[in-house]
Structure 1
Amino acid sequence: MVDRKIALITGASSGMGLAASIALLRAKYYVVMLCRDSSRGEAARQQAIKESGQSQAEVLLCDLASLDSIRNSASLFKERHTHLDVLINNAGVVSTKRHTTVDGFERMIGVNHLGHFLLTNLLLEKLQAAKQGRIITVSSGAHKVGDIHFPDPHLTNHFGLIKGYAQSKLANILFTNTLAVLLADTNVTANSLHPGAVSTSLGVNRTTGFGKGIHSLLRPFFQSPAKGADTAIYLATDPHMSAISGAYFYKRQIASTSKRAQDRNLADSLWKWSKEEVGLE
């Protein structure tokens, strides 16, 4: 397995994460499926093996709502693997009511952004050990109505589903843009993407934030998880993407972002705040 490319995908037990796992197995990657639940993770691994015809997949347990769990999972990965070619930050949650993680973070900013922020930083050494590392973060067109709500990013006052979700998706892009700057002189690239409206098992659509009732009515208009994962797979595997970093993609093309997503001062403030929140030096 020394020469085999390795990919790690968060939220791999269902939806786009599972679809991406299957696609990368077919492309002959060794796939590490980051999942929160062991039974669901193993069921997803077996499904991925069956549908891909490839057996090189493992489940790595991790709860992105727990900093301790993230640190433990990153340590296990580093013990088992010499390098990491592709990291797909795919997992996402949408909350209709305000919930907090075990570390006290509002759940959407905690899982969608801070969890991936810590995981990515902990795995940077392994990404740099690859011939060409790629970080791919699933954002959303919802970022265009988002802002980083300093000084109350955990929305202890005036919580709203769209407000919280859009904030987390904007954070995904700002995080990616800062990564691209910091990694400019390395062999690692960082890009983000909008997957389109994808039908998921979250109970609400991860792109629009619609609730269960509306989601059921609109389900026929949503694309499949496999189609939603297509751009992420393209960014992970296409040779031409090795030199592109700090871009936001939709349907395999570079797309426009909001002005806030291009705000370097906002990105710097978010990076500093995120480091403090997750306890990085």
Structure 2
Amino acid sequence: MLYILLVMAAGDETAMFGVSPVLGALIVVGGTLLWLLRRYLAGGWCYSKARLNGARVILACRDLAKAQAALAEIREDTGNRNLTVVKLDLASLASVRECAEKIKAEESRLDILINNAGIMMCPEWKTEDGFEMQFGVNHLGHFLLTNLLLDLIKSSTPARIINVSSLSHAYGKIDWHDIHMNKGYDRRKAYRQSKLANVLFTRELSRRLKINEFEVTVNAVHPGVVATELGRHMMESGSLAARAVNVLRFTPIMWMFKNAVQGAQTTIHCAVTPELLNTSGLYFSDCAPKEPSQHALDDDAARRLWDLSVEMVGLHEK
């Protein structure tokens, strides 16, 4: 039986579990141009043949009420009763440490860790520990949680770690001189930086695991543009005029976005597909490895980010 920890945002959809293979073809309406636009916006459609039914699933979430609702939905959809929730606020290093300790105390193994939570283009907020919110939640929180659970994961080999990134990483750069944007906040740059950090973290963690010959793989995933609550701050932030522009910009193309089931497929594929047992350090989109940006392939930057992250979260490496 697989033991899976899914780190989810408060508003995440829950269609990841018990997804059956979907047969048939995509019917294109509106011609090739619309199809190409849809593929660019959402990423293509793919359907994993993997099933997660029967696994023990731990939902780690900041909002326990929403996590319980997700748990109830998964139980109803799959019949799987082996589910539990645990409190996790990625904007608090103390909460991350408490969550990790609880899992290590209560679970005997951890086969799959899915770092799926995130925040996107929020106002200029800081985490409990003073980090820029998007970098703190999207990267540092997952970085610390993963490292705190790594011994448990290593004892459960073969095991897998999946970091949910974004196509936006391709437009990102790490601002080494002002990583928390204290000199001037740009919510888009902050989001892109955090998503690039996800891919660099994946690359460096994979390198370290390979050197030590652990049977643990780690891959990054672009799920596509998915219609969830992740983009809510794009509609809520800024002036009334800016919010109106965003509504007018995105509402007509919402039909092109992936739904939750479609958006979960690449993550499921990387989590349990047997053919990927020894595949590590890659970036996936539409259930296939894709070339990330040149910045994401910079091994020196990956090591530098690792060392900086260790210092920021107060992690004492062995």
TM range (shorter): over 0.9
How far did 1:27 drift? 2.5
- Paired with 2:278 and 2:231, the residues of 1 have a C-alpha distance of 37
- Paired with 2:261 and 2:270, the residues of 1 have a C-alpha distance of 14
Alignment of 1:122-137 (within 5 A): 122-137=148-163
> Please, which runs of 5 or more residues in structure 1 have no aligned partner?
none
Q: Tell me, what secondary structure is at the counterpart of 2:230?
A: coil
> Please, which runs of 5 or more residues in structure 2 have no aligned partner?
20-49
- Aligned residue in 1 for 2:265: 230
Alignment of 1:42-191 (within 5 A): 42-184=68-210, 185-191=213-219
Residues 123 and 233 in structure 2, CA contact (< 8 A), matched pair in contact too = no
Q: Deviations over 1:56-83 (max 9, x none)?
A: 1100111010000000000000011111
Residue 11 in structure 1 maps to residue 8 in structure 2: yes
Q: Tell me, what secondary structure is at the counterpart of 2:127?
A: coil
Out of 197, 200, 222, the position equivalent to 2:228 is 200
Alignment of 1:206-217 (within 5 A): 213=247, 214-217=249-252
Letter in 2 for 1:112: N
**Distance 1:54-1:14 versus aligned 2 partners, 3 A rule:** farther
- Paired with 1:90 and 1:6, the residues of 2 have a C-alpha distance of 16
Letter in 2 for 1:216: T
How far did 1:183 drift? 0.5
Residue 35 in structure 1 maps to residue 61 in structure 2: yes
Q: Tell me, what secondary structure is at the counterpart of 1:181?
A: helix
TM-score (norm 2): 0.82
How far did 1:44 drift? 1.1
Across the two proteins, how many residue pairs are aligned to each other?
Answer: 275
How far did 1:205 drift? 8.4
- Aligned residue in 2 for 1:268: 303
Ranked by relative contact order (alpha carbons within 8 Å, sequence separation 6 or more), the top structure is: 2
Q: Deviations over 1:6-37 (max 9, x none)?
A: 00011165435x22245498432100001111
**Distance 1:205-1:88 versus aligned 2 partners, 3 A rule:** farther
- Paired with 1:28 and 1:12, the residues of 2 have a C-alpha distance of 23
Residues 122 and 233 in structure 2, CA contact (< 8 A), matched pair in contact too = no
TM-score (norm 1): 0.93
Residues 9 and 118 in structure 2, CA contact (< 8 A), matched pair in contact too = no
CA RMSD of aligned residues (A): 2.0
Residues 13 and 40 in structure 1, CA contact (< 8 A), matched pair in contact too = yes
